[in-house]
Structure 1
Amino acid sequence: MHKKSPRIAVDAMGGDYGLSEVVPGAVNAAKQGIPVILTGDEYMIRSELDKLDTGSCDIEVVHASQIVTMEDKPSEALRKKKDSSIQVACRLVRDGHADGVVSAGNSGATVACGMFTIGRIKGVLRPGMAGILPTEKSPMVLIDVGANVDCKPEHLFQYGLMADVLAKDVLGIENPKVGLLTIGEEEGKGNSLVRTSYEMLRKSSLNFVGNIEGRDIFTGDVDVAVCDGFVGNVALKLSEGLAKSLSSILKGELKRDLVSKIGAMLAMKAFKRFARLVDKSEYGGAPVLGLNGIALVCHGKADSRAIERAIEMASKFVENDAVTHLKEGLAEHSNMTVMHSCDS
């Protein structure tokens, strides 16, 4: 029997570029066979769809009368904008009409809607946002990248468990190597949060390789790096800024003289491969792990390609039954989390 493709709800009103990038990205994903539901102003969405070749794509439009802006506080977005495009998308997942959500809008509101509308997996203390970064060898997972800036050891422990599943089910890594991001490789390095988290991760069934430093993230020697959301967000934004600056510096140097220009022309294919590797749109968005469904938060400046890739990632997450695997991993280690919560 042919397995039904996951249906992904897309917040059409989110992101700096709005409909002009979100809708084409969703259409491109639908052309790959992924059913899509676009939530937002129906008239505006259909006007955008009319500009595109949708063919026989499975695309549904569900009207939402409100928009959550980047200035809205997550709590206010929940209370005052119950008919916003992101809330409507999350309700579709909660009610079983969709299997996942993708939004390039207000990330705090997306996480909040995910928690309070879709709901958390039983036993999850706090959902975590996972960034997927390029390395010298293969993509890796950095968690948390901003959902929670004040964490306890049990939160970091659960992040490691959940990111392990993401690395297996979405990135296809058989036995992910999990590291704890801190200020030194030696055991005992770091603050009390890191030291206690280290002991919990060491006693787990994860392939825990110990502490790692910031310089280790991009070597590809670990598949998952665990940290609190403050550290993770700084690391993520630093990597994005560095990639952009390096690209600008490289372009400037290659235009400096005739010999450099000739060299650049000869190495053009290599430069294009490099540009794709460091392009944040290559990995779509940051999955919010720990929900009873998948929610992906895209960069505010996400283009159509990033939206398409995010929808593809959400679909893969559902197809591989990652939520069930998350539940299994958390259940296997539930005693450790409960014991530590009682101790603290």
Structure 2
Amino acid sequence: MRLTTGWQSDNGSTDLQRVPIERRDLNADDLAVRIDFCGVCHSDLHAIHGLTGKPIAGLVPGHEFTGVVTAMGSAVTAFAVGDPVAVGTIVDSCGECAMCQAGQENFCYRGAVTTYGASTKGGYSREYVLRDKFAYPLPAALDPAAAAPLMCAGITMWEPLLAAGAGAGSQVAVAGLGGLGHLGVKLATALGAEVTVLSRTPDKATDARALGATGFLVTTDDDQLKQATGRFDLILDTIAAPHDFSPLLRLLGLEGTLSVLGAPLETTVRMMELTYGRKNLTSSGTGGTKHTAELLTFAAEHGIAADIEVLPSARVEEALTRLAKGDVRYRFVLDLADLD
């Protein structure tokens, strides 16, 4: 076994403790990665509080990180020691089912292995061991800290944009301007779509436009909602709190799509809101190898990365506490160097 150090939660506490962590010895197709930067995702909070079905005892969160290859198994040919890499939410899958064959390992019929869960401990640590197939070369054009959130927040936005065919002439709305939403605005804008941010508070309008949005709609203003009826082809709903989908569905045009990405734990939908306009209600989670590789290339070509606040990993409790309050623009990233 390989020994490293990480930050562990027990009993649903955000007061994580620094502990030794065992990683497996390298298989022939494994990489060992020194983790330099790991994003702090809202689903990490959900997992810590036992809301995602993951065991909470001995939980080490973290599923979007960048680092450097430090060792390789004997069969690895695509990487070399010292290569910068990025790792996301999936670290293994069956490789045989239709989803895996299509490069959608995130939907593996036999159950993908997530970066942390029942049998894995995550990226709030100094080293990780995984199959080389699920590590991605980090383009030199991307800053390692700001690129880390692309591996969860970014790919979560990217796949539904591709599925909907978003591009020039598309009207795309992003509901919620947080860790997910701000990357949704950047990516949709770079694809050529006209982007509007939907927010409960008007004070985010300046930020929305700075990120590339050309429109801003205050969702607590009934007049604005009424005037926008039927405007959008696609709405990326990044809101994590329980909410009614009906006001958003009314903003979609004929055969428009509402893609629910914030993983609200409770949802409400009225079927007639879908029927009237033949609208689509869909969801998505993270991404597979095919689209993740495409995203990193696209992000490097268009200069897209997350807007981040970097904290030393010893301040992880502060990051989680502030995240729960929405006190971040727009993604916390932990610097793991203090675990040496």
TM-score with structure 2 setting the length? 0.34
Structure exhibiting the larger radius of gyration computed from Cα positions: 1
